[in-house]
Amino acid sequence: MSKAPQLHQKPEKFIRTADHPAVVLLHAGFWLTAGFAVIALPFFVLLTGDFRPPPIGVLWDFSMGCGFAALSLTAIQFALTGRIRVLTSPFGADIVYVFHRFLSWGAVALMFAHFGVLYFWYEPALGVLNPLKARWELTLGRLALLCFAALIVTSELRKRVKLDYHWWRVIHVSLAVIGFAAAVAHVLGVGKYSAMEDTRSLWIGVTVVWVGFILWSRLVRPLVQTFNPWRVVSNEDEGGGVHTLTLRPEGRPLTAWRPGQFAWLSIGHSPWSMKEHPFTISTAPDRGPQISVSIKALGDDSGRLIKTQPGAVAYVDGPFGTFSIDREAAAEGFVMVAGGVGITPVIANLHALQSRKDPRPVILIYANATLDVVAFRDELDRIAQDIDLTIVHVLEEVPDGWTGETGRIDEAVLERHLPDRSRSWPHMLCGPAPMTGAVIKALRKMGVSARQIDLEVFDMV
Ligand SMILES: Cc1cc2nc3c(=O)[nH]c(=O)nc-3n(C[C@H](O)[C@H](O)[C@H](O)COP(=O)(O)OP(=O)(O)OC[C@H]3O[C@@H](n4cnc5c(N)ncnc54)[C@H](O)[C@@H]3O)c2cc1C
């Protein structure tokens, strides 16, 4: 199956300094420190200056601390979800979204702690609950609490109550903006810790920065996209219900994307519509400036996108993501495991190895329901002519005469095809969650360290 290439270019040639593990670690360390600093800043200013109002009690101070920490954590969410590339690149966009989810839980828990302590120990300070009679700034605090609680509930229950993804997103952004505005107005209106000129400026300054993030992601970024449209030049059926759209830049092309990265794509809607979806760029950067995305219909919008006719205008926002061979300069080979449409980031990485004539061995284990739905079957065979690629198809239902693997990918399948020397190679996984979960478990049992396993998640929320 594999042919050793004659010529090859040194993989190091394609590694950017930013992908060096030490630089990635430094980046990650910087952002984590910056995050803690943002949370700590209000406490530092309030506790070290002359701004502190006379103490009322430990529980009162605890409640106020929870309130300020909640507001800082909430503000950080706008940066986390604002698609800021320097922030997401050390971690990967999917990890950042997981982080966003857990921090949001933390922020809402702190808000409830803030309100709960006041409710149980200082109830008179809350005044009347009736918004028609209550002080406006206290009503706004309660409105913020309700908005953020609703954000968590709608996100956690979205799939169970079958809330349409697009409408969930509209509700999510609206609740976040209203809740944050109400929370800031609450702090400024109550004024206990923000009445002095300096602390008031701190809160207003911090708010301006966070509003800047919102304007950047919801206004400036879409505006930039409208000046840089793309044109769909072809739509090819790859088999298995996957269609590859090739796009030509009509404005500024994407620069410097790494194989395996993804972009947000919108076709048939303006960049402001929030009807954009993430898709892997399935061509290698070495083949730019045209890019391709390979889409499988999994819902309404992807079903519509696979029918796109050449000539349609598209908007592309990217690149994002870290599922890339370029982050593995020192690897001696690669194990790639894909299930269904999870093949797209794998294909992008294989295209890069192919066009660079990279001699390193790759073992691809590729799971599908039947042979008919295997996407990129011929393309994979073509790539295997050029690089040292071993392809292992694993089919749930097999055709007559099939001699390959049957069933699902499990430890026995992996043991049969992964030689001992591959344990130290990077293992790149993309596919349905039950498949990747089972594969990770099996690989760990086989002695592959967690650090050697990289996962691309197609379901960020
Ligand atoms: C990093 C990444 C790379 C991806 N690459 C590919 C690819 O190369 N090829 C491919 O076919 N699919 C890919 N996907 C999946 C693709 O984005 C979804 O299948 C698509 O968004 C479904 O939209 P829909 O309206 O058709 O389905 P819906 O029924 O609306 O949604 C189905 C599910 O897809 C998810 N989803 C929908 N819209 C979005 C969105 N805007 N952002 C995040 N998740 C969303 C939600 O969990 C939703 O429940 C990728 C996803 C991610 C996160």
Contacts of 352 (CB under 8 A, 6+ apart): 14, 259, 260, 284, 285, 286, 325, 326, 358
Whose C-alpha lies nearest to ligand 1, atom 25? 301
Whose C-alpha lies nearest to ligand 1, atom 4? 279
The secondary structure of 372-383 as a DSSP string is GG-TTHHHHHHH
For the chain, how far is it from start to end, CA to CA, in angstroms?
38
Answer with the residue of higher pLDDT: 208 or 344.
Answer: 344
| Model pLDDT for residues 123-160, shown as the tens digit of each residue | 998 989 898 999 999 999 999 999 999 999 999 999 89
Long-range contacts of range 87-92, CB-CB < 8 Å, 24 or more positions apart? 87/31, 88/320, 89/18, 89/27, 89/322, 90/24, 90/25, 90/27, 90/28, 90/31, 90/322, 91/28, 91/31, 91/322, 92/321, 92/322, 92/323
Mutate to test the pocket of ligand 1, among 458, 459, 460, 461 (most ligand atoms within 8 A of CB): 458
| % of the chain beyond a pLDDT of 70 | 90
Cα 359 from chain centroid (whole Å): 31
Backbone angles phi, psi at 83, to 5 degrees: 50, 50
Nearest to 322 by CA among 349, 343, 300: 349
What counts of helices (H) and strands (E) characterise the chain? 13, 12
Mean confidence (pLDDT) of the chain: 87
Domains along the chain? 17-225 (1.20.120), 229-320 (2.40.30.10), 325-456 (3.40.50.80)
Euclidean distance between CA atoms 316 and 183, whole angstroms:
34
State the closest ligand 1 atom to the C-alpha of 278, by its place in the atom list counted from 1.
17
State residue 2's pLDDT score.
41
In the predicted model, is pLDDT for residue 284 greater than 50? yes
Q: Please state, as a whole number, how many other Cβ atoms lie within 10 Å of the Cβ of residue 191.
A: 13
Residue 395 amino acid letter: L
Ligand 1 centroid to residue 461 C-alpha, Å: 10
State residue 7's pLDDT score.
40
Mutate to test the pocket of ligand 1, among 298, 323, 429 (most ligand atoms within 8 A of CB): 298
Q: What is the pTM of this model?
A: 0.84
State the closest ligand 1 atom to the C-alpha of 277, by its place in the atom list counted from 1.
41
- Ligand 1 residue neighbourhood (C-beta within 6 Å): 165, 262, 276-280, 294-296, 298-303, 321, 341, 344, 458-461
State residue 48's pLDDT score.
65
Mean pLDDT of 12-17: 53
State residue 245's pLDDT score.
97
State residue 8's pLDDT score.
45
Strand (E) or helix (H) holding 224: helix 221-227
What sign for the dihedral angle of Cα 55, 194, 124, 177?
negative
State residue 129's pLDDT score.
86
| Model pLDDT for residues 101-126, shown as the tens digit of each residue | 988 999 999 999 999 999 999 999 89
